[in-house]
Amino acid sequence: MSKRDYYEVLGVARTASEDELKKAYRRCAMKHHPDRNPGDKAAEESFKECKEAYEVLSDASKRRMYDQHGHAAFEHGMGGGGGGPGYADMGDIFGDIFGNIFGGGGGSRGPRRGADVGYVMELSLEEAVGGVDKQIEVPTLDECDTCHGSGSTDGKVDTCSTCQGRGQVRFQRGIFSMQQACPHCGGRGQTIANPCGDCHGQGRVERTKTLQVKIPAGVDNGDRIRLAGEGEAGPAGAPPGDLYVEVRVREHDIFQRDGDDLHCEVPIRISQAALGDVIRVPTLGGEVELRIPAETQTGKLFRLRDKGVKSVRSRKPGDLYCRVAVETPVNLTAEQRELLEKFEATFAGDDARRHSPRSSTFIDGVKGFWDRMTS
């Protein structure tokens, strides 16, 4: 039976980059892997097919030959020794691609770096906008001071009897041979003869670290700050991981943030809305004047340019949007009530509708609704 085109097998264009090939191979191999499709012969054949295609196309010289001669390039010895594509050791081909499935590190040797650590930091809006220095305490695994991370009291180590010092073990899964870090020595290839009494041979102890974190101006919810080397200490003296500080901004009493813009609600009196006025509104840089034109309706939005936030990614600040809310007066005195009653009396008759545009529109809508209901 004729073989399918390798590019077709992986579902990529003939101009695909190395990274595109690797991603396509990952998808194909994960989908058809025999461990995910037990007893499925078709999936097993598809798995072999995508493995063979990737082995050829990921090798620059083999890919050139394939592009020139197709499958014939690997028949009758044209492709050199090795028994043709698709029959290499699984551990050599997959590397890090299936490490997450089988728990191993592919072909990597030695202990891995320490784990990364996450920390959530709550900030006020003012702190997030202006930047701040914060001191935090982070519980983590830190290097043991007694053995300096080696895990050994006297520095003596033995060759691991499980992996014979290689740091890797190989095992069989059906027709596939897999390789992973030695579970006995953790990939170090050595075991400790006299473990440290403080860390029990781990080279790490639980400790709370106090760190100073500089928060740049303009951060927002979800932004992360990376502190290199401040994560967990690596086993047996391996490099430490990183600390990622995630920002959470608390709700503000006045402002709501939307990217680089700020929003706030500004209450005004009926007289201010009807006659117009100049009021003062708060911004992050202090109060500014806002001109309210006569006959302003509740919900009217006013934009104050450059009074928003200048984020860590922006060259200029956003805007402040002020939405006015016309308040109904409360706790009226007898004189105020009398004045309002006289004022209300001036709206009697049909002339009142021209003073209340929204009310007129609503009344007309109601009449039209009832006419349709009764017709």
> DSSP character for 175?
T
156-162 long-range contacts, CB within 8 A, separation 24+: 156/192, 156/193, 156/194, 157/190, 157/191, 157/192, 157/193, 158/190, 158/191, 158/192, 158/193, 159/189, 159/190, 159/191, 160/184, 160/185, 160/188, 160/189, 160/190, 160/191, 161/191
Cα separation, 321 vs 316, in Å, equals 16
Binding site for Zn(2+): residue ranges? 144, 147, 160, 163, 182, 185, 196, 199
Three-state SS for 156? coil
Spatial separation of the C-alpha atoms in residues 209 and 108, rounded to whole Å: 30
User: For residues 108 and 95, what is the distance between their CA atoms, to the nearest angstrom?
Assistant: 8
For tokens 């440290």, the residue is: 196
Q: How many residues does this entry show for the chain?
A: 375
Tokens at residue 60, please? Answer: 């620059």
Provide the strand spans (E) within the chain: 117-123, 132-143, 157-159, 168-173, 176-181, 190-192, 204-215, 224-227, 243-249, 256-258, 261-269, 277-281, 288-292, 301-304, 320-327
The rounded Cα 359 to chain-centroid distance in angstroms is 48
Helix (H, G, I), strand (E, B) or coil at 330: coil
**CA distances (Å), 234 to each of 139, 163, 193, 201, 231, in order?**
15, 21, 20, 13, 9
Rounded Cα gap, residues 94 and 88, in angstroms: 10
Q: Which parts are annotated binding residues?
A: 144, 147, 160, 163, 182, 185, 196, 199
18 close to 58: Cβ distance less than 8 angstroms: yes
Alpha helices in 240-356 (DSSP H): 270-275, 334-345
What is the rounded distance in angstroms from the CA atom of residue 163 to the CA atom of residue 188?
A: 10
User: How far is it, in rounded angstroms, from Cα 196 to Cα 215?
Assistant: 38
